[in-house]
Amino acid sequence: MIVEFGNSIDPDVNQRVYEVAAAIERASLPVVQEVVPTYRSLLVRYDPLRASFGDITRSLEDLARAGTVGTGGRGSRDQQRQLFEIPVVYGGDDGPDLATVAQHAGVTPGEVIAIHTRPAYRVYMLGFAPGFPYLGGLDARIACPRLKTPRTRVPAGSVGIAENQTGIYPLATPGGWQIIGRTLAPLFNPSREPPVALMPGSFLRFVQVSSREAEDIERRVADGRYEIPTRRRGF
């Protein structure tokens, strides 16, 4: 069953999606097998041998009416107050499409970086690959079309732009986003609980770092001593 909450990418709509998802998870309904939140809708997988469509619809409507932001749930207020600071090396081999994005926007590469590092981005959803955050809040001035021909391999940690979205590839995968930089911060670790570093409903800001700073981060990641910097976010 797909529950629709709106027709646009909107923080209030997305917040409502996660409020209801959290309410369903707290209810621990035996009939519900999986809950998958997206930008503006919620996929609910349920066992039709344990409840009818009408039964599950009534249950979800009741939970949707009662659904409020919980503490510790996805999209909770505590989570929203946390701002992750993602270190990024922009341009060069780490950001081969930075000049293309700058040319499309009619600005310099330095201005693209300044614009890209300014907002606090909301993690609207995870998808495409484990831990891939779809982020809202990209400045329209640096929106840029996807590549006409996707790359067969985009390195892990690559930071990209596609249309009016920006995101981070947590794993090396094929991809068609315009790559403007790369982070060494680990976003997906299957041996960790939870395995993803950035949860939907949280916020992040990109921070430009030098190659030397990135090498230090790489060493600390290899030694297991690196934690993504966080701070309290003001509303």
- What tokens were used for 98? 């930075």
| Model confidence pLDDT, tens digit, residues 163-186 | 999 999 999 999 999 999 999 999
Question: To 10 degrees, what angle do helices 53-66 and 11-27 make?
Answer: 120
Q: How many domains does the chain have?
A: 2
171: CATH: 2.40.100.10
Confidence of residue 151 (pLDDT cuts 50, 70, 90): very high
Helices (H), the chain: 11-27, 53-66, 77-80, 98-105, 109-116, 211-222
Q: Which residue has the higher pLDDT, 71 or 54?
A: 54
> Would you say residue 191 lies in a domain?
yes
8: CATH: 3.30.1360.40
* 114 and 37 inside one domain: no
pTM of the model: 0.84
Report the share of the chain in percent with pLDDT over 70.
92
pLDDT of residue 122: 93
Q: Which residue has the higher pLDDT, 36 or 87?
A: 87
* Domain range for 94: 81-232
Return the ∠ at Cα 142 (arms to 139 and 144), rounded to 5°.
Answer: 120
* 61 and 94 inside one domain: no
pLDDT of residue 9: 83
* 86 and 122 inside one domain: yes
> Would you say residue 76 lies in a domain?
no
* 120 and 191 inside one domain: yes
pLDDT of residue 78: 54
**In the predicted structure, residue 64 carries a pLDDT above the cut 90:** no
Where b means 16+ CB within 10 Å and e means fewer, 49-58 reads: eebeeeebee
Where b means 16+ CB within 10 Å and e means fewer, 83-122 reads: bbebbbbbbeebbbbbebbbebbebebeebbebbeebebb
| Model confidence pLDDT, tens digit, residues 39-60 | 899 999 999 999 999 999 999 9
Bridge pairing between strands 32-37 and 133-136: unpaired
